[in-house]
Every structure is written in structure tokens, then in C-alpha cells.
Amino acid sequence: MTEQPPDDTHTQPLNRRATLADVAALAGVSLGSASRALSVPEQVKPATLKKVAQAVAALGYIRNGSAQALASRRTRTVAALYPTLDNPIFAQSTHSMQQTLWSLGYQLLIASHEYQIDNEFALLRATVERGVDGLILVGTDHSQEIFSLLHQRGLPYVLTWSTDDSSYPHCVGISNFDAARKLAREVIAKGHTRIGLCGGAIDRNERARGRRLGILAALKEARLKMRKDWIFEAPFSYAGGRQAIQYFWSRKQRPTAILFGTDLQAIGALHQCREQGIRVPDDLSIIGFDGIEEAEMMQPALTTLRIPAHEIGRRAAHRIVALIEGTPVEPEPPLSEMLLIRESLGQVSSTNQR
């Protein structure tokens, strides 16, 4: 009798992690069938399916995603690259994006470069290296390197948040220019003529640029001019807004209204006004941009413009999956923002006509 190598497969647990080959062996089918049972069950006979399922359960088998990705050249993962996650407006879109992708059978890989815009390429490179089937980027203004890499690798991508400065058909967002102009017109309609502006860095950020230009356009329409020293640049944070108030209030000439690039800044500004005893909106009107929930909670409540962040997340998710899977998609219809006129924007009265 020939000496047989021991075959423990059916009698005791493996001392190593179960592979698909183990599953196949235990189920008494070939490796190919086991693979198909998991990936394309409709091509497999129910009986086979059942045997495989039992073996999977018995072994506690979990697919090795790396091997699967290597063999199939697909990862079923989409990456979203954000400037930061520290702004509630981005966190909002993340949520619906993840839910939607999950429901479509994809995972979401989230990363952020924290406004170190030069890191964006490094981040993208690392993400591509790790392996993703598609990307969702924030904004339309990215370095040439980035687009080159994307094209060179044939990676589908969706641009989100804005449609400004781009003719790419897969932009899911609003026109920041139009939105900001609309908001500025409201401010002007309240009688303001002395209007300041606090934006963020506009380098590689067409959102900040579009907002600034939209405001300037509205002023121009109304034959108002923007003083150079009433354009202030600050970080996109509460602290940035505080700095802006300190800056404007240290000037000899002060505006009666300030339009901020983000709600985060505007809320910081509101807080700083309280510290300095500046009455809002009597002494100064403050206007945000984004429409985060916190804006409504402030005292006075912040006037702002709501960006449909959840809708952006949802649509971007559907779109990137369509691009990955080659489903035809129409060019994206524009999304619409909503004005939220609240207490922090006041009518100009004799009080602040100095």
C-alpha cells in the first residue's frame, strides 16, 4: 500500500487561511466553478452553488481582494479626494456618496490633502498605486500632472462641487460664479454699497475664484466699486473668519457688509463680532456660503447659500460607477443652490451710514 499524504481537508481546520482552492476542494468542485459561484452565480447550477456556499461557511472563507484585483484588474473601489474633511459641508457629501456606492457594490476610499494642494498629486499617485477603478475629485481646477496621470492610466473620474471653468462633461456641482452673484445681488438689494469680501486662497481653487468673481460682477452691475483693501484672504476655518473681522475693523474705512467664501469663515466672523462688540446686522451684515447646518444655529442666524452636498455625493457616485462600467450617461444637468436669507443680513439704515 502506498503511503498517502494526510488529507485533513475534511477532518480538521486548516492551519493557514482558507483559499478558494480549499473551498473548491471541500465542495468537490473545480477552482473555476468555485470562483464563478462567487462572482457570477447565475452561470452556476444551483446545486453547485449550494455546495460552494456550504464550504465557504465551513471554512470562514473571505476572498483575497488583492488576488482578485490582480487577476481581474478591477478593485470595485472608488476613491474620493477631498481638500479637507474638517468642513462639515464635505462630510455631508461623503455620507451619501458612501451609501450610494455601497448600494452599487463599490467601496469608497476617502482621502484628503488638507489644502496642501501640492500634495494632491502625491495623494492621487498613492491612490492609483493602491488601485481604484475610478476617482471623484473636488473642483475642476487641478494640475496638468493630475489630468495626465488620469488619462494615461485610462482612469474614469468625476469632478464635483463646481461646474466653473470646465467643459468636462462629468462635473457634478453648481456654478459658483452664478451663485455668488445671486447672493451678492441680495446684499446690494438691501441697500449695501460698502461691501467687503473675505475669500480663501484662489490658487487651484475655482470655487473660491468663481465666488469672488461672481461678487465682483454683481457689484459692477450695480456700479459699485470694490476697494482693494476690502478684499481679504483667510484660511477656510473659523479662525480665518475671526482674522477677517480683526482686519476689517482695524481699517479707517469699514464695510457695512462682508461676504465670506465659506460658512466656516462667516461663523468665525460672527463670533469675533460678538467678542468685539460689533452688532450684527446693525453695525455689520455677514453673509456665508455653503449652507451648513451650523449656520442656522448661530445667533443671529447666518444668511448663506445652500450647496446641495448630499445630492452632489449621490450623483457623483452614480456617475462614476456608470463611467467605470461603461453605461452611457447624459451630460450632468446643473444642480441648483438655494438662498437662505436670515438675520445676519440687514437692511442698511442711517445707523451704519457713516
Minimal distance, residue 10 CB to DNA, in Å: 16
> Quick one: 241 exposed, middle or buried, by C-beta within 10 A (0-12, 13-18, 19+)?
buried
Q: Which is nearer to DNA, 42 or 330 (CB)?
A: 42
What is the pattern of x (binds its own copies, CB under 8 A) and - over residues 16-55? -x--------------------------------------
DSSP 25-57: HHHTS-HHHHHHHHH-GGGS-HHHHHHHHHHHH
Quick check: 57 binds DNA (CB under 7 A)?
no
Q: Cell 449695501 belongs to which residue?
A: 192
Inter-CA distances, 320 with 33, 79, 219, 284, 310, Å: 31, 10, 38, 43, 16
Residues in the chain: 354
Near its own copies by CB under 8 A: residue from 125, 220, 225, 227: 125
Residues that bind its own copies (rule: CB under 8 A) add up to a total of 50
Near its own copies by CB under 8 A: residue from 233, 283, 294, 343: 294
Near DNA by CB under 7 A: residue from 10, 47, 154, 330: 47
Minimal distance, residue 351 CB to its own copies, in Å: 21
Q: Cell 477631498 belongs to which residue?
A: 82
Find, among 114, 119, 158, the residue nearest to 138 by Cα. 158
* Residues facing residue 110 across a β-bridge: 80
Quick check: 109 binds its own copies (CB under 8 A)?
yes
Quick check: 64 binds DNA (CB under 7 A)?
yes
What is the pattern of x (binds its own copies, CB under 8 A) and - over residues 189-228? ----------------------------------------
Minimal distance, residue 187 CB to its own copies, in Å: 22
- The interface partner of residue 296, options being DNA, its own copies, none and the CB cut-off 5 to 8 Å by kind, is its own copies
Sign of CA dihedral 332, 334, 340, 345: positive
Minimal distance, residue 326 CB to DNA, in Å: 14
R_g of the chain computed on alpha carbons: 27
What is the pattern of x (binds DNA, CB under 7 A) and - over residues 69-88? -xxxxx--------------
Quick check: 153 binds its own copies (CB under 8 A)?
yes
Find, among 341, 344, 342, 339, the residue nearest to 178 by Cα. 339
Quick check: 270 binds its own copies (CB under 8 A)?
yes
Quick check: 77 binds its own copies (CB under 8 A)?
yes
β-pairing, 157-162 vs 171-174, is parallel
The SS3 call for residue 309 is: helix
Q: Which residues bind DNA (CB under 7 A)?
A: 16-17, 19-21, 29-33, 35-36, 38-39, 43-45, 47-48, 61, 63-64, 67-68, 70-74
